[in-house]
Structure 1
Amino acid sequence: MADRAPLAGIRVADFTWVWAGPFCTLQLAHLGAEVIRVETATRPCVTRLLPPFADFEPSPDRSGYFNQYNQGKKSIVLDLKRPEAIEAAKRLCAASDVVVENYAAGVMERMGLGWDVLRALRADLVMIALSGYGATGPDADKVSYGPAQVPLSGMSSVTGYHGFPPMHVGISYGDPTGGLHGAVAVLAALVHRARTGQGQYIDLSQWETSMAVLAEAITAWTMNGAAPERDGNRDPHMAPHGVFRAAGEDRWVALAVEDDAAWARFAAAVGCPELASDPRYATAAARKRHEDALEEIVTAWTRARSPEEATATLQGAGVAAFTAATNRDLAEDPHLAARGFFVELPHPVVGTRKHVGVPWRMSESDCRVRRVAPCLGADTDQVLRDVCGYSEAEIARLRAAQALV
């Protein structure tokens, strides 16, 4: 039976670490590509060393962080400081359709694995470099990590409360935005290759991908010289809009009333239909002018109810409202379970654990988590033998030369 995965038959050499690069190759693995991570025990991926660890026992193979974002991949160990390992990496790249790397700009070139070298090994190769600032420009060589991309992109400048300093947004948005944009670029390059037979190099700047999801704030300046003000959970146009306290300890409900019709439905649902015609609240502009008083009305209603009750009442009236879910809420959510969003795969070290799976469904293609995240170096011999063409004796010599650590 033919493999129905969109990227069946595509091999990816994965020189990535932390989040952005692995998130890019995760999408390719979900689509059916064979993704082979190149790692080393001398400097493991940062996420192998970060919690949460299964059963609170730190180990490179027990990190939930790593195991989540490296599902469906293989792992080989190569100490790229050794020439024998560089030669093995070249063989892997020559046998691959795609090379993905997110080291600092210039690192692959200094190791002898830059684009000029690799495209000479395979003319139709697709290679992408996800770096902090791109491969060109005056900032190309600056140090970058995902958390720094948030304020640098301008995201922090529009996050926070009026009269208070900028705030971080909770996660390093530069990493997943870079990874997702990178996956799209790789897919486009593979389509181009299918049409023309040509490979190509993709230079991705995580700084730019972070700004790409904040374009409306930037255009507010480029069009009118205006800067959006920080205003907490409020929306510039919708009111009420925010996260409101509900009954119970640290329980909250989020809601958004998008227009006057939704406001009328909200007012009826909370038992105060007269609010729909009250001149202080009848229009969006009026509600924005009286937003403090408006939020007191909303909070008085929500805090007397559980988030689930408030959500059910408002959703029943056609108002966008949702429980501010905890991690436990999500892990036990019946809707997500019904859609098969979570996957449980047996891991040789941590046993069977629940992980986030593929967030899309395709009617004619098979997209799923095909294997658990790899233990460090678990596939080294198999890949060297079956993909790179090494004999058992040659693999033994690589191991004796300390190239496989």
Structure 2
Amino acid sequence: MPTALADLLILDFSRVLAGPYATMVLADMGARVIKIEQPGTGDETRQWGPPFADNGLSAYFIAVNRNKQSITLNLKHPTGQAIARELARRADVLIENFLPGTMARMGLGYNDLRPLNPRLIYCSITGYGQYGPDADRPGYDTVIQAEGGLMSITGEPDGPPMKTGVAVADITTGLYAATSILAALHYRTHSGEGQYIDLSLFDVQLSWLANVASAYLVSGKPPRRYGNAHSTIVPYQPFAAADGYVMVAVGNDQQFTRFCQALNHPEWATDERFATNPARVTNREQIITAIAEVMAGESVAFWIERLRAAQVPCGPVNDIPTALNSRQAQARGMVRSIDGIRMVGPAPVFSATPATIRSAPPALGADTAAVLAELGYSADQIRHFYDQGIV
């Protein structure tokens, strides 16, 4: 069965999360991804554990490195740099996440490679971009969450700022990288030209503050923390049931009317304090307290059945095992297995070019000899490269 990006060759010089996530997304869609790693150590996330799979790979590395080949290459050695340039001559895309200027110092910057391959799409991911007062600082997801404002709006109103449970700045930067690369490839189809993409975690973090940033820019008022509640919609938060939590997402006044009926309090829907969403936001404490008292008396299952029957958006607050083993996750094939390794599968479902898992995350340097042979190096030359620590 065909895949959407089967004709693309991507060189992945990135490590850890944002870059590898981007290249995994593209690899799932069929692109050939060659991951270039440091001899002897490789991507540092290979050792970020426990837990580790039976083959010794960390769960962290497994999460974002399927469908890739791995070669080792000493980029500080002139021969290693020459091999990297030879790969770049043939590549459609190069992605890297070194500090600004690092690739250029090794003769592998965009301006070095463009003359060799004018069609190359070159994507650099950094913490703060290629210019600006913080450009030379390394980027770490939690620091970006802090500096980019996310932690200030995450957590309970009277508690400390909190980070999210997943490295969202890295993940969203990876998604931005993938979509930006695809846009550049589309431009190349009619221009014949590659281009450079400068992508920073900090910029991405600011960009997806979305309505929260917009609220400040419109009102001039700094957003504050609402815990699990919503700043401008009520009720839109989890409520404690007798045996767990139920997330309620009442998005309009019609839903609120049905919600009140399901709670056997239809009078709330006509009370001027609660009849409209702006009124409920103003009188948030009163209505939330009233709802909480009612919902605490029944089980999660009771409320899920009752609210869904009333067409009120809701769901149980699941832990990770429950979510991954849910009927919906199973129906969608979201947990896959390859070579005995279980992992979360690709999210998009294409009608003609499905995203696939074709190979497990590779052992360090598993494909070095094969890729060098493709470049025309002999077995003797390849052995010499190993002996000299070039690969």
TM-score bracket, shorter-length normalisation: over 0.9
CA distance in 2, matches of 1:238, 1:137: 37
Contact kept, 8 Å, 2:14 with 2:20, in 1: the verdict is yes
Once the two structures are TM-superposed, the CA of residue 305 in structure 1 deviates from its matched residue by 3.4
Pick from 358, 363, 367 the counterpart of residue 379 of structure 1: 367
**TM-score (norm: length of structure 2):** 0.94
Contact kept, 8 Å, 1:127 with 1:201, in 2: the verdict is yes
Structure 2 residue 193 is matched with structure 1 residue 198 = yes
Once the two structures are TM-superposed, the CA of residue 120 in structure 1 deviates from its matched residue by 2.1
Where 1:254 maps in the other structure, the secondary structure is strand
Structure 2 residue 360 is matched with structure 1 residue 367 = no
Deviates more, 1:44-53 or 1:129-138: 44-53
CA separation of 1:34 and 1:203: change in aligned 2, threshold 3 A? same
Once the two structures are TM-superposed, the CA of residue 138 in structure 1 deviates from its matched residue by 2.2
Once the two structures are TM-superposed, the CA of residue 317 in structure 1 deviates from its matched residue by 1.1
Q: Which residue of 2 aligns with 1:254?
A: 247
CA distance in 1, matches of 2:189, 2:206: 31
Deviates more, 1:123-132 or 1:263-272: 263-272
CA distance in 2, matches of 1:76, 1:252: 47
The number of equivalent residue pairs is 391
Once the two structures are TM-superposed, the CA of residue 164 in structure 1 deviates from its matched residue by 4.0
CA distance in 2, matches of 1:237, 1:44: 46
Once the two structures are TM-superposed, the CA of residue 188 in structure 1 deviates from its matched residue by 0.9
Counterpart of 1:45 in structure 2: which amino acid? D
Q: Which residue of 2 aligns with 1:172?
A: 167
Q: Which residue of 2 aligns with 1:309?
A: 302
Where 2:242 maps in the other structure, the secondary structure is coil
Q: Which residue of 1 aligns with 2:227?
A: 232
Once the two structures are TM-superposed, the CA of residue 271 in structure 1 deviates from its matched residue by 2.4
Deviates more, 1:231-240 or 1:328-337: 231-240
Q: Which residue of 2 aligns with 1:20?
A: 18
Once the two structures are TM-superposed, the CA of residue 213 in structure 1 deviates from its matched residue by 0.5
Once the two structures are TM-superposed, the CA of residue 353 in structure 1 deviates from its matched residue by 2.8
Mapping of 1:141-220 within 5 angstroms?
Answer: 141-220=136-215
Contact kept, 8 Å, 1:52 with 1:65, in 2: the verdict is no
Unaligned runs of 5+ residues in structure 1 are 347-351
Q: Which residue of 1 aligns with 2:77?
A: 82
Once the two structures are TM-superposed, the CA of residue 112 in structure 1 deviates from its matched residue by 1.8
Contact kept, 8 Å, 1:217 with 1:227, in 2: the verdict is no
CA distance in 2, matches of 1:316, 1:177: 35
Structure 2 residue 4 is matched with structure 1 residue 6 = yes
Pick from 272, 288, 293 the counterpart of residue 279 of structure 1: 272
Q: Which residue of 2 aligns with 1:399?
A: 386
Once the two structures are TM-superposed, the CA of residue 397 in structure 1 deviates from its matched residue by 0.9
Pick from 127, 132, 138 the counterpart of residue 137 of structure 1: 132
CA distance in 2, matches of 1:305, 1:62: 44
Once the two structures are TM-superposed, the CA of residue 32 in structure 1 deviates from its matched residue by 0.6
Structure 2 residue 311 is matched with structure 1 residue 318 = yes
Q: Which residue of 1 aligns with 2:240?
A: 245
Structure 2 residue 292 is matched with structure 1 residue 299 = yes
Where 2:285 maps in the other structure, the secondary structure is helix
Counterpart of 2:91 in structure 1: which amino acid? S
CA distance in 1, matches of 2:111, 2:49: 38
Contact kept, 8 Å, 2:100 with 2:130, in 1: the verdict is yes
Q: Which residue of 2 aligns with 1:330?
A: 323
Counterpart of 2:302 in structure 1: which amino acid? E
Contact kept, 8 Å, 2:121 with 2:195, in 1: the verdict is yes
Once the two structures are TM-superposed, the CA of residue 35 in structure 1 deviates from its matched residue by 0.4
CA distance in 2, matches of 1:72, 1:313: 44
CA distance in 2, matches of 1:44, 1:399: 15
Contact kept, 8 Å, 1:42 with 1:79, in 2: the verdict is no
Once the two structures are TM-superposed, the CA of residue 297 in structure 1 deviates from its matched residue by 2.8
Once the two structures are TM-superposed, the CA of residue 395 in structure 1 deviates from its matched residue by 0.6
Kindly, what percent of the aligned residue pairs are identical?
34
Pick from 318, 336, 348 the counterpart of residue 343 of structure 1: 336
Contact kept, 8 Å, 1:151 with 1:157, in 2: the verdict is yes
Q: Which residue of 2 aligns with 1:349?
A: none
**TM-score (norm: length of structure 1):** 0.91
Once the two structures are TM-superposed, the CA of residue 194 in structure 1 deviates from its matched residue by 1.2
Once the two structures are TM-superposed, the CA of residue 41 in structure 1 deviates from its matched residue by 4.3
CA separation of 1:309 and 1:345: change in aligned 2, threshold 3 A? farther
CA separation of 1:290 and 1:221: change in aligned 2, threshold 3 A? closer
The one-character-per-residue Cα deviations of 1:45-89 (angstroms, maximum 9, x if unpaired) are 23211134236x7x8x42111111111111111122222222222
CA distance in 1, matches of 2:260, 2:123: 52
CA separation of 1:313 and 1:51: change in aligned 2, threshold 3 A? farther
Contact kept, 8 Å, 1:242 with 1:255, in 2: the verdict is yes
Q: Which residue of 2 aligns with 1:267?
A: 260
CA distance in 1, matches of 2:286, 2:86: 67
CA distance in 1, matches of 2:341, 2:104: 39
Once the two structures are TM-superposed, the CA of residue 242 in structure 1 deviates from its matched residue by 0.9
Structure 2 residue 52 is matched with structure 1 residue 65 = no
The one-character-per-residue Cα deviations of 1:308-358 (angstroms, maximum 9, x if unpaired) are 332232122111111111111112111111111221111xxxxx1321111
Where 1:112 maps in the other structure, the secondary structure is coil
Structure 2 residue 332 is matched with structure 1 residue 357 = no
CA distance in 2, matches of 1:163, 1:326: 25
Unaligned runs of 5+ residues in structure 2 are none
